[in-house]
Amino acid sequence: MHNTRLRRLHVLGLTAGAVMVLAACGGGPASSSSGGSPATAQSAADAGGLNALVTAAKKEGKLNVIALPPDWANYGAIISGFTAKYGIPIDSANPNGSSQDEVNAVQQLAGTSRAPDVLDVGMAVALANTNLFAPYKVTSWGDILDSQKEATGLWFQDYGGYMSIGYDSSKVPTITSIQDLLKPEFKGKVALNGDPTKANAALNGVMMASLANGGSLDDISKGVDFFHQLKQKGNFVPVQATTATVKNGSTPVVFDWDYLSAAHGTDVPTWKVFVPSNAILGGYYAQAINKQAPHPAAARLWMEYLYSDEGQNLWLKGLARPVRMDAMQKKGTLDKAAAAKLPPVNGKPVFLSADQATNAKNYLADHWAQAIG
Amino acid sequence: MTLAVDPSIKLETARRPLGGGRRLNADWLGAVPFLAYVGLFLLLPTAIVAIGAFVGPNGVTLANLTAMNQAYIVRSFINSVVLAAVSALVGAVFGAMLAYAVATGNPRSVLRRLVTSACGVLAQFGGVTLAFAFLATIGGAGLIRVWLLDRGIDIYANGEWLYQLRGLVLVYAYFQIPLMVLVFLPALDGIRPQWREATETLGGGTWHYWRYVAGPLLLPAFTGATLLLFANAFSAYATAAALINQGSIIASLLIANTLTSEVGLHNPGIASAEALVMVVIVAIVMVLYAQLQRRTAGWLR
Amino acid sequence: MNRARRIRLQLFRGVTFVIMGAFFLVPIAGMFEFSTRGRGLNAPRTLEAWTSIVTYPDLVAAIVASLELALITSVGMLLLLVPTMIWVRLRLPELARTIEFICLLPLTIPAIVLVAGLVPIYKWIAINLVDSILTLAFAYLVLVLPYAYRTLYAGLSAIDVKTLSEAARSLGAGWPAVMWRIIVPNMSVALLNACLLSVAVVLGEYTIANLLNYVNVQVAIQLLGRANAGVSIAVAVASLLFAFLLLVVLSFVGRPRARVARAEG
Domain residue ranges in chain B: 70-300
Name the DSSP letter for residue B164.
Answer: S
pLDDT (tens digit per residue) in B231-252: 999 989 889 988 998 888 899 9
Domain residue ranges in chain C: 56-264
Question: How confident is the model at residue A33, as a pLDDT?
Answer: 40
Min Cα–Cα distance to chain C from A51, Å: 30
Min Cα–Cα distance to chain B from C57, Å: 22
Question: How confident is the model at residue C261, as a pLDDT?
Answer: 41
Interface of A with B in 151-210 (CB under 8 A): 171, 188-189, 192, 194-200, 203
Average pLDDT over residues A24-43: 54
Asked if residue A138 lies in contact with residue A45, where contact means CB atoms within 8 angstroms, the answer is no
Question: Would you call C99 an interface residue with chain B, using a CB distance cutoff of 8 Å?
Answer: yes
Min Cα–Cα distance to chain B from A244, Å: 8
Question: Would you call B213 an interface residue with chain C, using a CB distance cutoff of 8 Å?
Answer: no
**Closest residue to B196, CB basis, from C26, C190, C264:** C264
What sign does the dihedral A79-A82-A87-A88 (CA atoms) show? negative
Share of chain B above pLDDT 90, in %: 32
Average pLDDT over residues B172-199: 89
At residue C234's C-alpha, the angle toward residues C228 and C237, to 5°, is: 145
Q: Which domains does chain A have, with CATH numbers?
A: 16-20+28-160+283-339 (3.40.190.10), 161-281+344-372 (3.40.190.10)
In single-letter form, the type of residue at position B37 comes to Y
Q: Which of B254-258, B277-281, C127-131, C188-192 has the lowest mean pLDDT?
A: C127-131
Q: Which residues of C touch A113 (CB under 8 A)?
A: 126, 131
Q: Which residues of A touch B263 (CB under 8 A)?
A: 122, 124, 196-200, 203, 357, 360-361, 364
Confidence bin at B16 (pLDDT 50/70/90): low
Q: Which residues of C touch A267 (CB under 8 A)?
A: 39, 228-230
Average pLDDT over residues A233-247: 90
Flag whether pLDDT at A272 surpasses 50. Answer: yes
Asked if residue A164 lies in contact with residue A274, where contact means CB atoms within 8 angstroms, the answer is yes
- C200 and B121: CB-CB below 8 Å? yes
Helix, strand, coil % over all residues of chain B, rounded to 5: 75, 0, 25
**Beta partners for residue A156, in sequence order:** A149, A287
Regions of chain C with pLDDT less than 50:
257-265
Question: How confident is the model at residue A32, as a pLDDT?
Answer: 39
Average pLDDT over residues A223-232: 94
What sign does the dihedral A129-A133-A137-A143 (CA atoms) show? negative
How confident is the prediction for chain B on average, in pLDDT?
Answer: 86
**Closest residue to C13, CB basis, from B104, B189, B260:** B104
Flag whether pLDDT at A23 surpasses 80. Answer: no
- C201 and B232: CB-CB below 8 Å? no
- B132 and A99: CB-CB below 8 Å? no
Min Cα–Cα distance to chain B from A231, Å: 11
Chains that touch C (3 or more CB pairs under 8 A): A, B
Contacts across the A-B interface (CB distance below 8 Å)? 113
Distance of CA A13 to the CA centre of its chain: 27
pLDDT (tens digit per residue) in A101-111: 999 999 988 88
Distance of CA C94 to the CA centre of its chain: 29
Alpha-carbon distance of A253 to C215, in angstroms, equals: 33
pLDDT (tens digit per residue) in B74-83: 999 999 999 9
Question: How confident is the model at residue B29, as a pLDDT?
Answer: 83
- Helices first, then strands: H and E counts in chain B: 15, 2
**What's the CATH class of domain C56-264?**
mainly alpha
Contacts across the B-C interface (CB distance below 8 Å)? 288
**Beta partners for residue A288, in sequence order:** A119
This prediction has a pTM of: 0.84
Based on its alpha-carbon atoms, the radius of gyration of chain C, rounded to whole angstroms, reads 23
Distance of CA B232 to the CA centre of its chain: 5
What sign does the dihedral C100-C101-C102-C105 (CA atoms) show? positive
Q: Which of A263-277, B199-213, C40-54 has the lowest mean pLDDT?
A: C40-54
Asked if residue B176 lies in contact with residue B88, where contact means CB atoms within 8 angstroms, the answer is yes
- A112 and C210: CB-CB below 8 Å? no
Report the SS3 class of residue B53.
coil
**Closest residue to A250, CB basis, from B140, B159, B262:** B140
Largest CA distance in chain A: 69
Tell me, letter by letter, the H, E, C secondary structure of chain C.
CCHHHHHHHHHHHHHHHHHHHHHHHHHHHHHHHHHCCCCCCCCCCCCHHHHHHHHCCHHHHHHHHHHHHHHHHHHHHHHHHHHHHHHHHHHCHHHHHHHHHHCCHHHHCCHHHHHHHHHHHHHHHHHHCCCCHHHHHHHHHHHHHHHHHHHHHHHHHCCCHHHHHHHHHHCCCCHHHHHHHHHHHHCHHHHHHHHHHHHHHHHHCCHHHHHCCCCCHHHHHHHHHCCCHHHHHHHHHHHHHHHHHHHHHHHCCCCCCCCHHHHCC
ipTM score: 0.85
Other CB atoms within 10 A of residue C135 CB: 18
Question: Would you call A104 an interface residue with chain B, using a CB distance cutoff of 8 Å?
Answer: yes
Question: Would you call C112 an interface residue with chain B, using a CB distance cutoff of 8 Å?
Answer: yes
- C226 and A270: CB-CB below 8 Å? no
A281 — alpha (psi -120 to 50), left (phi > 0) or beta? beta
Average pLDDT over residues A227-244: 91
Confidence bin at A16 (pLDDT 50/70/90): very low
How confident is the prediction for chain A on average, in pLDDT?
Answer: 86
Q: Which residues of A touch B265 (CB under 8 A)?
A: 197-198, 361, 365
**Closest residue to A122, CB basis, from B132, B247, B262:** B262
Flag whether pLDDT at B18 surpasses 60. Answer: no
Greater model confidence, C160 or A304: A304
Confidence bin at B5 (pLDDT 50/70/90): low
Alpha-carbon distance of A109 to A107, in angstroms, equals: 6
Q: Which residues of B touch C258 (CB under 8 A)?
A: 107
Flag whether pLDDT at A172 surpasses 80. Answer: yes
Q: In this structure, which long-range contacts are made by residues C53-61, counting pairs with CB atoms below 8 Å and at least 24 apart in sequence? A: C53/C224, C53/C231, C53/C234, C53/C235, C53/C238, C56/C220, C56/C224, C58/C215, C58/C220, C58/C223, C59/C217, C59/C220, C59/C221, C59/C224, C61/C215
Q: Which residues of B touch C190 (CB under 8 A)?
A: 186
Flag whether pLDDT at A283 surpasses 80. Answer: yes
Return the CATH number of the domain spanning residue range B70-300: 1.10.3720.10
Min Cα–Cα distance to chain A from B281, Å: 23
Confidence bin at A2 (pLDDT 50/70/90): very low
Phi/psi of residue A22, nearest 5 degrees: -60, -40
Q: Is B3 exposed, middle or buried (0-12, 13-18, 19+ CB in 10 A)?
A: exposed
Phi/psi of residue B138, nearest 5 degrees: -120, 15
